[in-house]
Amino acid sequence: MEGFALSIDEKSWVAKAREGDVAAFEAIYSRYERRLYAFIYRLMGNSEDAYDLTQDTFVKAYMALPRTSPDLNLSAWLHRIASNTCMDVLRRRKLIKWLPWETFDTNPAIEPAADDDPVGEYNQFETSGEVQAVLDKLTPKHRMALILKEYQGMSCDEIGEVMGASRSAVKSLLFRAREEFRQAYLARYGHAPGAEPDVITGESPSRLEG
């Protein structure tokens, strides 16, 4: 029992949480809180949205859990709820998207942090606020696909499960996303991603891997 191998049985949590075991849902929450928060943060580009929509995501998950099937893919399911939640908000904001926000050269994702703010300290790693700024410019679906792939480390099949798309649709989505990213990056910084070595050789901070 005391062992080398670790087999955390997510399914048993789901089963217990489905029956109202609050501790099991808490465990699910604990496991996915950071991951979903980071996902939503990168998708929305700011911490206020990340806070609110992570909350919405978990509340929806809690409410919907009893109606799920026993062979639930928890990670994909939670990401799907998060994706839909974010897309709803983005869709609603679409109307104001063309207001001249983009003339501001500040990056909303990187906020000044208080000295005693551990999150801020953590964000000192961020050498490339530019990347988030470019992500923010992408079509939401492209941004989502790219973040799921590169940031959340998902496979194309998993992304398909999250976004409700076929494998080939995901492939083409990723292609278009990369092209759009490339164009946006070029438009903003005047050079292609990777052309400036500083941008990519910074020490990679600890991060979640799928």
Q: Nearest approach, Cβ of 100 to other proteins (angstroms)?
A: 26
Stretch 188-207 residues interacting with other proteins (CB under 8 A)? 192-195, 199-200, 202-207
Q: Of 72, 97, 174, 198, which one interacts with other proteins (CB under 8 A)?
A: 174
Place of tokens 């398909």: 160
Mark the segment that binds other proteins (CB under 8 A) among 76-84, 93-101, 167-175.
167-175
Among the residues of the chain, which ranges form H helices?
Answer: 10-18, 22-44, 47-64, 74-93, 118-123, 129-137, 140-146, 156-163, 167-189, 197-201
Helices 167-189, 129-137: axis angle to 10 degrees equals 120
Q: Nearest approach, Cβ of 207 to other proteins (angstroms)?
A: 4
How many residues in the shown chain lie near other proteins by CB under 8 A? 84
Stretch 1-40 residues interacting with other proteins (CB under 8 A)? 1-4, 6-9, 12-13, 16, 19-24, 26-27, 29-31, 33-34, 37-38
Stretch 41-100 residues interacting with other proteins (CB under 8 A)? 41-42, 47-48, 50-52, 54-56, 58-59, 62-63
Question: Within 10 Å of residue 144's Cβ, how many Cβ atoms?
Answer: 27
Residue 135's contacts (CB-CB under 8 Å, 6 or more residues apart) are: 42, 45, 143, 146, 147, 181
Q: How far apart are CA 171 and CA 176, in angstroms?
A: 9
Question: Within 10 Å of residue 81's Cβ, how many Cβ atoms?
Answer: 20
Mark the segment that binds other proteins (CB under 8 A) among 76-84, 90-98, 100-108, 174-182.
174-182
If one asks whether residue 178 binds other proteins (CB under 8 A), the answer comes out as yes
Q: Of 69, 103, 106, 124, which one interacts with other proteins (CB under 8 A)?
A: 124
Between residues 58 and 77, which has the closer beta carbon with respect to other proteins? Answer: 58
Q: Which of 40, 43, 36, 39 is nearest to 138 (CA)?
A: 43
